[in-house]
């Protein structure tokens, strides 16, 4: 006999140097941090300890955002809209929530990161990314 069940195993792991810097900058400075690979000449979002393309370590931290561009999205029933967003200054996209109202999202529309008032050094210190209206709001 085979029983099919899901096992929930809570765990904690170190965010690492780059991940910690990213989270601290969210919490303390409301700032998105990326990593610049001088070999590939690409800026990765969010910050990483090494370049996934060439393996280089010792990347330089750079500020990215707060503006961003919508790359792609999906609607998750009862959860909201999740999007791949490319922060300004970055060459890669990161996953987060797209804040509404959302009538007709299109790739390339302008977004702005929205931080929570209370932050704790967690990816959810970012509330999400809001669509920037044409009049700049």
Closest CA to 105 of 66, 72, 128, 67: 72
Integer Cα distance of 103 and 30 in angstroms: 27
- Say how many residues touch Zn ion, by CB under 5 A: 7
Stretch that binds Zn ion, among 36-44, 67-75, 83-91, 96-104 (CB under 5 A): 36-44
Q: Which one of residues 16, 17, 39, 72 is an interface residue with Zn ion (CB under 5 A)?
A: 39
DSSP secondary structure letters along 13-30:
---HHHHHHHHHHHHHH-
If the CB atoms of residues 46 and 128 are measured against Zn ion, the closer one turns out to be 46
Stretch that binds Zn ion, among 15-23, 54-62, 92-100, 123-131 (CB under 5 A): 54-62
Integer Cα distance of 108 and 72 in angstroms: 9
Chain residues binding Zn ion by CB under 5 A are 37, 39-40, 51, 53-54, 56
């Amino acid at each position: 006999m085979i029983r099919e069940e899901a096992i929930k195993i809570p765990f904690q792991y170190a965010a690492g140097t780059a991940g910690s810097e990213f989270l601290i900058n969210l919490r303390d400075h409301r700032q998105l941090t990326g990593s610049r690979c001088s070999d590939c000449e690409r800026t990765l979002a969010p910050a990483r300890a090494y370049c996934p393309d060439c393996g280089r370590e010792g990347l330089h931290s750079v500020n990215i955002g707060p503006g961003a561009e919508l790359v792609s999205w999906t609607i998750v029933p009862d959860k909201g809209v999740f999007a791949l967003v490319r922060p300004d200054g970055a060459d890669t996209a990161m996953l987060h929530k797209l804040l509404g109202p959302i009538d007709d999202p299109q790739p390339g529309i302008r977004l702005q990161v929205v931080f929570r008032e209370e932050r704790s050094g967690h990816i959810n210190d970012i509330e999400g990314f809001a669509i920037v209206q044409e009049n700049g709001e």
